[in-house]
Chains A and B, each alone.
Chain A
Amino acid sequence: MEVLREKVEEEEAAEREEAAEQAEHAEKMERMVRLAEVSKEERILTQDELRDLEKKMMAVEIPIPAERPIINKAIIDVSKLPPSYTTNSPKEEHLLQVADNFSRQYSHLCPDRVPLFLYPLNECEVPKFVSTTLRPTLMPYPELYNWDSCAQFVSDFLTMVPLLDPLKPVVKKKEKVSPKKYAVKPPRDLTSRFEQEQEDKRQQEIQALEKKRLREEEEHLLEAEKSKPDPLHGLRVHSWVLVLAGKREVPECFFIDPLTARSYSTKDDHFLGIESLWNHRNYWVNMQDCWNCCKDLVFDLGDPVRWEYMLLGSDKPYLSLTEDYDEGMDNDDDVEYLGKEDEDKSFDMPPSWVAQIEITPEEFETRCPNGKKVIQYKRAQVEKWAPYLNNNGLVCRLTTYEDLQCTKGLEIKEWYQNREDMLELRHINRTTGLHVDYFKPGHPQALQVHSYKSMLPEMDRVMEFYEMAREDGLIKREETPMTMTEYYGGRSDFLSYRHINFGPRIKKLTQNSAESNPRPMVKITERFSRNPEKPADEDVAERVFLITEERIQLRYHCRDDYITASKREFLRRTEVDSKGNKINMTPDMCISFEVEPMEHTKKLLYQYKTMIHLKNEEKLSRHQAWESELEVLEILKLREEEEAAHTLTISIYDTKRNEKSKEYREAMERVLHEEHLQQVETQLDYLAPFLAQLSPGEKLTRWQAVRLKDECLSDFKQRLIDKANLIQARFEKETQELQKKQQWYQENQVTLSPEDEDLYLSYCSQAMFRIRILEQRLNRHKEMAPLKYLALEEKLYKDPRLVEFLKVFV
């Protein structure tokens, strides 16, 4: 074939770039899927292996719209595919011949190199040229407009299936060399030499251990790779995407790995070489030496020395690409244009045989096949789910492991979405058993963070709340089995901290019910922030209720220019009388230290009042502490209920899932539809019988239209006249009958029985009524008829079917 010049070149990059520029993401995706790159060193790849490769490619070709969730070729229902999948058009046959010719020339000229990956079999076992598997498509999702999010989508969609050759690509493993697990501690200055030596020894031991561990790890690695780490290095094949610089502000060429959606520089070590490139327009073979990976490659596809193209038609200098490929529409023109110029040599790439990609919003949201994807990392595993797929709202789970085999879990992080209880992230530490739940704003109890080891009350737990969300200003509540600490903010009583010490629970023998037996409180410590309205000497900073000792300690705020603060201690020992109410205040019940002694505080009365006030406050504080305990129980109960129910919320904008709005919408649609039907019924087509006279499909002429109008009008006129006549006839008939009856009555008046007379009279009145009605109708008809006629005439003039022809006459 002359089409194949010696310097036929392949390029996938052009296509890549064009994709970028055209925003045809799905196309890009597809392309990405189908691009198979053969790494350069893979010289020994036999025909069979090529088949394997092909098969692998087939396997990878999931995103054919209909078979979205299917990964295996076997599951694809071949019979339902369009004929383009199962047959080759003449043009495609021609192309295959061209490709075959190219391939033969190539293997003749470059016998050392791996046979080209040109026309693998598709899912229907039909050979297809790789370029024709690409179909540029613009998808309606803004996320697919740029390469990064688009690549992410594709990578979510793809699942890595190893080639039949059961080796995993070495490259991938090497990417993640584990970081050093130890770091030498910076030397301490003031340590003695002896200690340092000891330290060194210890370090050495650790190092030895570490080395051992490393060695073991490596062994593990080797094991994992089935003890064949290197022999195939550089022989493995992979396909990836090249984005060429130039369009859509792409500053330089780069690779995208379709399985991870990560971008790599073209100089990256992991990419050992390129065998060939293609896009939907052409196919290029790399003629450059890849001894230094891809670092020295020049991606100027217009250079026939470096890139041997297969089809001449698309042979273009690199730089001009930017101008020519601006729009998808241009492509055909270019090819045609070139074809005319160089008819013998150019060949038009046939259109893609692949069906148009369609991604429904559901599929787009689901992302992964079946909505689930598992990514395995070294010592970690990520599982992703589509929203609403799990009924507890779980969308992502990251599990980290201690060992390479991923058996001993270390930590689990679970991300949730659309939960009604606003749970966002759950962090579980397997070693300590600590659960930490993070909530988004909006939890009914304003929870922000909840960390716990067990859901049982009176255990170690920390609850953090959204500030300002709670009325009582609680920010944080920490609990241990014997204490509870609460932190407050923004309260009008300036309380900032409350610490409660509990004593051991007393067994209640007399109590009949077991429902509430709160732990006795031993001590309540409350701290207050400064109230600027009070003088510091009267503003309590801390008060401690020693409940069992019956003591109250107060510490006041420190004055601005002082370093000591006033203190006061109340002893209630003597206060409790036999009556329990009467209190004898004595000076020794209050010990106070005042920074600036004041007169009024010395008074017993003042002290008495303060003490009474504090007594009440103590009761209040105990009550509040008790309420806090209850609240904890309540929150725990609520959490358990929420966990059990795990209701998911549905946005009102989510038309698909929101049942209510769906019902409403459907109802609205139904109503609309019904209304429409009614309208149709009421609007009888007055022209229909006349139009029916015309032969179907015949176009109206002006003459016909005029005639149609006239006919319609005359018909209507006739009907009006008929109607008038009908009414007239009935009227006359009634009148005649009445006259007859009257005559009859006059004749037989004498002989008539009273009943007959009654009958006659009633008949008369009824007849008169009918006659009157008919008369009215007739009159009204006479009045209305001309108006109706005119109305119809006007309507006809405005009728969309006739308006064009009748315009002239109006």
Chain B
Amino acid sequence: MSWPYDSMQLKVMDDNMLKVAVGEQGPQEEAGRLAKQEDILFKDVLSLQLDFQNILHIDNLWQFENLQKLQLNNNIIERIEGLENLTHLVWLDLSFNNIEAIEGLDTLVNLEDLSLSNNRISKIDSLDALVKLQVLSLGNNQIGNIMNVIYLRQFTCLQTLSLAGNPIAEAEDYKMFIYAYLPDLVYLDFRHIDEQAREVAKIKHQYNIDELKHREAQMQAQLEDEQGQREKLAEHKLAFIEHLDGSFLFESLYAEDMEGNKLSYLPGVGEFLEAYKDKFVIICLNIFEYGLKQQEKRKIELDTFNECMQEAILENQEQGKLKVAKFEERHLQCLNAIREETELSNIEKKLIECSDDINELFNMLMMLEMQLVEQLEETINMFERNITDLVGLFVENVQSLMAQCRDLENHHHEKVLETAINYLEKILKGEMDKDLPDDVRALFVDKDTIVNAVGASHDIHLLKIDNREDELVTGINSWCTHLVDKIHKDEIMRNRKRVKEITQYIGHMQSELDNLECGDIID
């Protein structure tokens, strides 16, 4: 299907071409006149047809943000490209082109109907993003591996598939294979799949399918597992106590501590280490559980706060709506009365009345808003106090637990030091001459070396503990500040929005009245 390039005049997708197409395919008659008058913006176009245009490269489509249907069939396109911005696309026709690989469709998550027939595609691929895909036409391509169809199992919405004209369609087992592997399919190659054939196919491929299903289920389970773990970690992070539900912190103490590891070879130290670890882990777990509890408390606090805020705002809104509704009713009557009134002086009087009414409404609404602002202000301050207290308490308790950790470390350090010095003495006396690794033996040269080594290990440990503590404390504090800031900001935004709404509404009313005035005067 190669097009004689030379005999054709290649066209470039430029603004002009697009404009012409849009103009031709846009609204007609009166609507068309209006459209022309106003100039159609590309982003308002929903459907675009660009077939038989000898297009080689897809280009310049980035403005059509809201395009839902795009026809590019019967061109000489070689690559799918330039469609990244068309995320609202539902219908895409690229048939009768020279495309060799499926690509560039990763952003089109809303695509339901994709036509790629009569191209040179050899592999079904790169469609993962198209979760809503219902119709897929791949007829007259060069797909040669029947196993490639299994790739389509992930599209649960897929109902219609056409693969006729591909090498695989010539295989004897082609239909049965597809019936069996794509059980949700309704139409294959534009024919309805009848249930009986499907059953037969199912039985035929039972074994393979079961195996496949089993594998898929396993994958699914694994994915879910990972997802669950990720969620859990996220939850822990939210409570700022991630990785504290085990020996992770303890192990990190020794992760970079060469000396400490070396010293653990000393007789007796191993036992201390075990005991130390046990105690350390228990404290970590305490922090962890405490952290979760506190997180829960904070959450409840926040939820209650939000709920109350919402209630207050809603109530205020209701009042406002009521006021507006009442006003509108009265206002409408007023306006009607003015329209029917003939005497100028009366009209003027009524107009003044009306504008007074509007002013009154403005005042009332603003008063309501001010009331609300005050109420919310108070509540927010209270919440701020409480949440800060809560966080402070949490930090305090965590710090005291961390201090326990440090105590343990100090204790351990003393013990190790003592053992080491004893050992050193023994070595110096020549009593102990066991086969220690050389690098460990190197530490036992003199007292300073060993004390320094033990001290270095100790310092590293303390540093790690301090770091973890700092991480936690800064984390929670910044969370708290952010939260409070956000609440304040949101409230300010809300207030501004409301005030803007009110002024806008009042402005509209006023201008309507003014227009009426003008009109009347003209009349």
A: residues with CB less than 8 A from B are: 558, 561-564, 582-585, 591, 593, 595, 600, 603-605, 608-609
Contact = CB atoms under 8 A, between A and B. Distances in A.
B34 A604 contact: yes
B501 A605 contact: no
B123 to A, nearest CB: 39
Given A562-B317, A608-B30, 10 more contacts: A561-B313, A564-B501, A582-B30, A583-B30, A584-B30, A593-B508, A595-B501, A600-B44, A605-B31, A608-B31
Contacts of B365: 563
16 contacts: A561-B494, A561-B497, A562-B317, A563-B498, A563-B502, A564-B501, A585-B34, A593-B508, A595-B501, A595-B504, A603-B34, A604-B34, A605-B31, A605-B35, A605-B38, A609-B31
B220 to A, nearest CB: 31
Contacts of A605: 27, 31, 34-35, 38
B30 A564 contact: no
B313 A603 contact: no
B37 interface: yes
B52 interface: no
Nearest to A592: B508
Given A564-B501, A609-B31, A603 B38 contact: yes
Contacts of A603: 34, 38
A563 B324 contact: yes
B491 to A, nearest CB: 12
B299 interface: no
Interface in B354-383: 365
B501 A604 contact: no
B37 A563 contact: no
B35 A563 contact: no
Question: Top 9 closest A-B pairs, CB basis?
Answer: A563-B320, A564-B505, A604-B34, A593-B508, A605-B34, A563-B321, A605-B35, A563-B317, A608-B34
Residues of B contacting A: mostly: helix
Contacts of A604: 34, 37-38
Interface of B: 27, 30-31, 34-35, 37-38, 44, 313, 317, 320-321, 323-324, 365, 494, 497-498, 501-502, 504-505, 508, 512
A562 B30 contact: no
Contacts of A591: 512
Contacts of A593: 505, 508
**Most-contacted residue by chain B among A562, A584, A605, A608 (CB, 10 A):** A605
A562 B321 CA distance: 8
A563 B501 contact: yes
B518 to A, nearest CB: 13
A103 B162 CA distance: 111
Contacts of B31: 605, 608-609
Nearest to B504: A595
A591 B512 CA distance: 10
Contacts of A595: 501, 504-505
Contacts of B30: 582-585, 608
A695 to B, nearest CB: 78
Contacts of B508: 593
Contacts of A609: 31
A733 B471 CA distance: 133
**Most-contacted residue by chain B among A563, A604, A605, A608 (CB, 10 A):** A563
B37 A562 contact: no
Nearest to A603: B38
A561 B320 CA distance: 11
A579 to B, nearest CB: 12
Nearest to B30: A583
A588 to B, nearest CB: 10
A563 B27 CA distance: 36
A609 B35 CA distance: 11
A561 B317 contact: yes
A593 B324 CA distance: 14
A558 B321 contact: yes
B289 to A, nearest CB: 39
A356 to B, nearest CB: 68
Contacts of B38: 603-605
Contact of A564 (B34, B35, B324, B494): B324
A563 B321 CA distance: 5
A537 to B, nearest CB: 13
Contacts of A600: 44
A564 B368 CA distance: 14
A701 B53 CA distance: 117
A562 B505 CA distance: 11
B519 to A, nearest CB: 11
A563 B325 CA distance: 10
A603 B35 CA distance: 9
Contacts of A582: 30
A595 B504 CA distance: 8
Contacts of A583: 30
A585 B34 CA distance: 8
A595 B498 CA distance: 10
Contacts of A562: 317, 501
Contacts of B27: 605
A489 B55 CA distance: 53
Nearest to A600: B44
A605 B323 CA distance: 34
Contacts of B324: 563-564
A558 B512 CA distance: 20
B303 to A, nearest CB: 19
Nearest to A593: B508
Nearest to B322: A563
A561 B493 CA distance: 12
A535 to B, nearest CB: 15
A558 B325 CA distance: 12
A563 B317 CA distance: 6
Contacts of A558: 321
B511 to A, nearest CB: 10
A757 B494 CA distance: 132
Nearest to B511: A593
B229 to A, nearest CB: 35
**Most-contacted residue by chain B among A564, A582, A583 (CB, 10 A):** A564
A590 to B, nearest CB: 12
A585 B321 CA distance: 33
A584 B37 CA distance: 12
Contacts of A585: 30, 34
**Most-contacted residue by chain A among B34, B35, B324, B504 (CB, 10 A):** B34
A564 B27 CA distance: 33
Contacts of A561: 313, 317, 494, 497
A573 to B, nearest CB: 14
Contacts of B37: 604
B325 to A, nearest CB: 9
Contacts of B320: 563
A603 B27 CA distance: 14
A605 B44 CA distance: 11
Nearest to B313: A561
A591 B519 CA distance: 15
Contacts of B498: 563
A586 to B, nearest CB: 10
B490 to A, nearest CB: 11
Contacts of B313: 561
A333 B501 CA distance: 97
Nearest to B319: A563
B31 to A, nearest CB: 6
A543 to B, nearest CB: 15
A660 B181 CA distance: 57
A595 B505 CA distance: 7
A478 to B, nearest CB: 21
A564 B37 CA distance: 32
Contacts of B321: 558, 563
A576 to B, nearest CB: 14
B466 to A, nearest CB: 46
Nearest to A586: B34
B253 to A, nearest CB: 51
A582 B34 CA distance: 13
Nearest to A604: B34
